[in-house]
């Protein structure tokens, strides 16, 4: 499926602003972004329940929808799975799953229902009713229902957000396996970076109606396009500096800023897990190196155990600002303790500040 330059204007605001995307069979593409950035509106236009103001949707090289021509939603071969998936309470589990199977015989229907319920491990409930199932089981029936007509394309809007954490991981993985097996092209909407990283072959990061970055999860995470993209995936530390001779001077030493004109303000952004910590030895820290720059001293303000890591906050000697470091396992230095922080150059991003 290819969407080209989709635009949707609501009350004079471009809530979807020139969005283009290609989604391949057997692949999961995640539309990831904060609440209100236009993800669901994009999905609704693809589903055909909302009309775009301009732009086109193509499936298998055939035009499905532009501003003049429009294939109705039920003929688009698109499956939908939304957070508020509702099973029909008065229909049995089998009849719920068979709901979208209109043009096949009773035997074919039964065979497909049994195949899918077996796949989601709920065959024992075939003649049961939705109210007899847990939330997670209902979700799996909803998944079986949306896959029953073998949609080539599946649109999922926060489909797992109603589930508790322990259930969610298992259902996500099962869902992913099933969608891959059926070679479905999936567009999944989420505002949770962890969900996108776990599910996606490709992430399209969306902000204010636009896709600001697109790529494999690893690339989007390790080569973020701007400061907000770093901060969307994790906590971020930011140092302000000004460029002079393609270098930005900071208390951590100089950072390269190739191609950035003199006098430009830059943000040097790095994640807490990339800060290196050293103990203070009579007021001195480790020696500066080309790769790690100059260490800077800070005082522990707070240290918290987060499960698989600890988060330590420092008040820096150089300007009193707070920087964060995460360390694996339990590392809980007492408040008031001084330590030295270094920032490996290859883990930092230097972004010119854009003044809005
Ligand atoms: N029918 C409408 N009338 C007015 N504003 C709307 C309408 N539909 C969407 N919007 C606005 O368009 C913007 C995008 O909404 P959309 O639901 O697509 O965002 P989203 O990224 O899916 O957010 P969420 O994750 O919270 O669902 C929001 O600011 C929303 O208030």
277-333 pLDDT, tens digit each = 999 999 899 999 989 999 999 999 999 999 989 999 999 999 999 999 999 888 899
**Ligand 1 atom showing the smallest separation from residue 40 Cα:** 22
Query: Domains in the chain, please, with CATH?
Result: 2-230 (3.40.50.300), 235-352 (2.40.50.140)
List of E strands, the chain: 2-10, 13-22, 28-32, 54-59, 62-65, 78-82, 153-157, 185-190, 202-207, 210-215, 237-244, 247-250, 253-256, 265-270, 276-279, 296-305, 309-316, 322-328, 338-342, 349-352
pLDDT, position 147: 86
pLDDT, position 32: 97
pLDDT, position 84: 66
Contact 158, 189 (CB under 8 A): yes
**Ligand 1 atom showing the smallest separation from residue 44 Cα:** 18
131 secondary structure, DSSP code: G
Q: What is the distance in A from the centroid of ligand 1 to the CA of 239?
A: 34
Gap between the Cα atoms of 5 and 224, Å rounded: 23
**Residue of minimum CA distance from atom 31 in ligand 1:** 36
Q: Is 76 in the pocket of ligand 1 (CB under 6 A)?
A: no
Q: Is 190 in the pocket of ligand 1 (CB under 6 A)?
A: no
- What's the first-to-final CA gap in the chain, in angstroms? 35
**Ligand 1 atom showing the smallest separation from residue 38 Cα:** 18
Gap between the Cα atoms of 36 and 19, Å rounded: 15
**Residue of minimum CA distance from atom 8 in ligand 1:** 41
Pocket test for ligand 1, best of 11, 30, 32, 37 (most atoms within 8 A of CB): 37
Confidence (pTM):
0.87
pLDDT, position 356: 61
281 secondary structure, DSSP code: B
- Walk along the chain (356 residues) and give the pLDDT tens digit of each residue: 999 999 999 999 999 999 999 999 999 999 999 999 999 999 999 999 899 999 999 998 999 999 889 998 888 889 888 776 678 999 999 999 998 888 788 899 999 999 989 888 889 999 999 999 988 888 889 888 988 988 999 999 988 877 777 778 888 888 888 889 889 999 999 999 999 999 999 999 999 999 999 999 999 999 999 999 999 999 999 999 999 999 999 999 999 999 999 999 999 999 999 999 999 999 899 999 989 999 999 999 999 999 989 999 999 999 999 999 999 888 899 999 999 999 999 999 999 998 76
């Amino acid at each position: 499926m290819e969407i080209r330059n989709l635009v949707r204007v609501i009350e004079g605001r471009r809530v979807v602003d020139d969005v283009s995307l290609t989604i391949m069979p057997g692949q999961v593409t995640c539309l990831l972004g904060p609440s209100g950035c236009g993800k669901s509106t994009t999905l609704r236009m693809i589903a055909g329940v909302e009309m775009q103001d301009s732009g086109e949707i193509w499936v298998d090289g055939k035009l499905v929808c532009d501003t003049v021509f429009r294939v109705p939603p039920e003929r688009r071969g698109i499956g939908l799975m939304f957070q508020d998936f509702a099973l029909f309470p008065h229909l049995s589990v089998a009849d719920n799953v068979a709901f979208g199977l209109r043009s096949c015989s009773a035997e074919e229907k039964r065979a497909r229902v049994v195949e899918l319920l077996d796949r989601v491990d709920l065959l024992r409930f075939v003649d049961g009713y939705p109210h007899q199932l847990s939330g997670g089981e209902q979700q799996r029936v909803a998944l079986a229902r949306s896959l029953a007509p073998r949609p080539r394309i599946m649109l999922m809007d926060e489909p797992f957000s109603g589930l508790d954490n322990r259930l969610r991981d298992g259902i996500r993985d099962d869902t992913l396996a099933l969608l891959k097996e059926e070679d479905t092209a999936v567009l999944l909407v989420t505002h949770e970076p962890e969900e996108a990283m776990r599910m996606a072959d490709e992430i399209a990061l969306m902000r204010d109606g636009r896709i600001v970055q697109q790529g494999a999860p690893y690339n989007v995470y390790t080569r973020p396009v701007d400061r907000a993209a770093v901060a969307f995936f994790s906590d971020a530390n930011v140092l302000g500096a000004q460029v002079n001779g393609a270098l930005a001077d900071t208390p951590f030493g100089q950072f390269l800023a190739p191609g950035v004109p003199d006098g430009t303000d830059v943000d040097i952004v790095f994640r807490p897990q990339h800060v290196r910590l050293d103990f203070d030895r009579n007021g001195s820290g480790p020696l500066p190196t080309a790769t790690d720059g100059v260490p800077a001293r800070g005082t522990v303000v707070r240290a918290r155990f987060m499960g698989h890591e600890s988060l330590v906050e420092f008040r820096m000697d150089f300007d009193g600002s707070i920087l964060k470091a995460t360390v694996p396992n339990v590392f809980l230095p007492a408040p008031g303790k001084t330590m030295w922080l270094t920032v490996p150059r290859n883990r930092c991003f230097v972004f010119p500040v854009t003044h809005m």
